[in-house]
Amino acid sequence: MSRSLNKVTLIGHIGNIPEVRHFQNGGKVANFSLATSESWIDKDTGEKRERTQWHRVCVHVAGLVDVVVKYVTKGSLVYIEGQLETRKWQDQEGKDQYTTEVVLRPFNSTFKMLETKDQTDQRRMRNDAASQAETGGETMHAGVLNGNGNESGSSSYDLDDDIPF
């Protein structure tokens, strides 16, 4: 039995249009940022406060990459489960840099869209024409896609957040 667990569960809004990289072996990866926010009332001033955390997300499952490219736009509300991974790379000056990301890999990840078709359609109409052309105007109802790309079940949520994008 393992004595450790590396699992991340987040619900948040997509912060940018997902970027997809294609590899020579035919593989592909989607990257996007995810914003999670918490709000509270300051006890001293009575003012509403909000703090937003940004998370880098990297999707390594071909089926999920296709869904992300086709259906996800900036501002989409999603639920993800994945693992934290830290990647080492070198900048232009040759210095070692580190990036920690939430990674979705086959068989241990979940991606779920938490919006209705109407909400997705409205967001798509507000986004630029390039986004609309890329997605072909199609939308997806909320459903779970497991790490192996299979859809299982569907549900809808009514989460009202005041996200500034």
**Tens digits of per-residue pLDDT, 133-162?**
554 544 333 334 444 444 443 333 344 455
Residue 133 lies in a domain: yes
Q: Given a cut of 70, is residue 25 above it in pLDDT? A: yes
Per-residue pLDDT, 110: 93
The tally of domains found in the chain comes to 1
pLDDT band at 31 (very low <50, low <70, confident <90, very high): very high
Residue 24 lies in a domain: yes
CATH at 30: 2.40.50.140
**Structural domain boundaries, residue 126:** 8-89+97-152
pTM comes to: 0.69
Residue 79 lies in a domain: yes
- 113: number of Cβ within 10 Å: 27
Distance CA 133, CA 11 (A): 27
Residue 163 lies in a domain: no
Q: Given a cut of 70, is residue 30 above it in pLDDT? A: yes
Contact between 13 and 33 (Cβ < 8 Å): no
